[in-house]
Amino acid sequence: MIRLPPRRSSQRMHRLLPHSMRKLLAHMVSALALSSVFAAYLACAPTWASPVSATDARGKRITLPAPPRRIVSLAPSITEILFALNLDGRIVADTTYCTYPPQARSLPHIGDYRTSLEKVVAQRPDLVVASLSANHQAVEGLERLGVKVFAVDPKTVAGTMDAILQIGKITGAEAQARRVVQTMEARISAVKRRVARAKRHPKVLIVLQAQPLWVAGSSNFMDDVVTLAGGINVARDAGPGFKTYSMERVVVDRPDVILASKEDAARLLATPSLASVPAVRRHALYTIDPDLLARPGPRLVLGVEAVARLLHPGAFRR
CATH number of the domain to which 109 belongs = 3.40.50.1980
Is 220 found in the same domain as 165?
no
d(CA 20, CA 26): 10
Q: What is the pLDDT of residues 192-207, one digit of tens each?
A: 999 998 989 999 999 9
The helix/strand/coil state of 313 is: helix
Does 27 map to a domain? Answer: no
Does 299 map to a domain? Answer: yes
Does 277 map to a domain? Answer: yes
Contact yes or no for 303/293 (Cβ under 8 A): yes
Is 311 found in the same domain as 246?
yes
The helix/strand/coil state of 258 is: strand
Least confident range from 18-32, 53-67, 136-150, 222-236: namely: 18-32
Does 242 map to a domain? Answer: yes
Q: What is the pLDDT of residues 85-123, one digit of tens each?
A: 999 999 999 999 999 999 999 999 999 879 999 999 999
d(CA 90, CA 92): 6
Burial 178-191 (b: 16+ CB within 10 A, else e): eebbeebeeebeeb
One-letter amino acid identity for 304?
V
One-letter amino acid identity for 232?
I
pLDDT of residue 171: 98
Alpha helices in the chain (DSSP H): 10-16, 19-44, 76-84, 117-122, 136-144, 157-171, 174-195, 221-228, 247-253, 262-269, 278-281, 291-294, 300-311
- SS3 of 147-183: the string is CCEEEECCCCHHHHHHHHHHHHHHHCCHHHHHHHHHH
Burial 48-69 (b: 16+ CB within 10 A, else e): eeeebebebbeeeebebeebbe
d(CA 26, CA 303): 65
Confidence class for position 136, pLDDT limits 50, 70, 90: very high
Which residue, 115, 137, 172, sits at the end of a domain? 172
Q: What is the mean pLDDT of the chain?
A: 88
Q: Quote the number of domains for the chain.
A: 2
Is 102 found in the same domain as 206?
no
Stated as kind and residue range, the H or E segment containing 246 is none
Q: What is the pLDDT of residues 9-59, one digit of tens each?
A: 444 444 444 555 455 445 444 444 434 433 443 333 344 569 999 999 999
Does 2 map to a domain? Answer: no
Q: What is the CA radius of gyration of the chain?
A: 29
| Domain range for 72 | 52-172
Surface-to-core class of residue 73, CB atoms within 10 Å of its CB (0-12 exposed, 13-18 middle, 19+ buried): buried
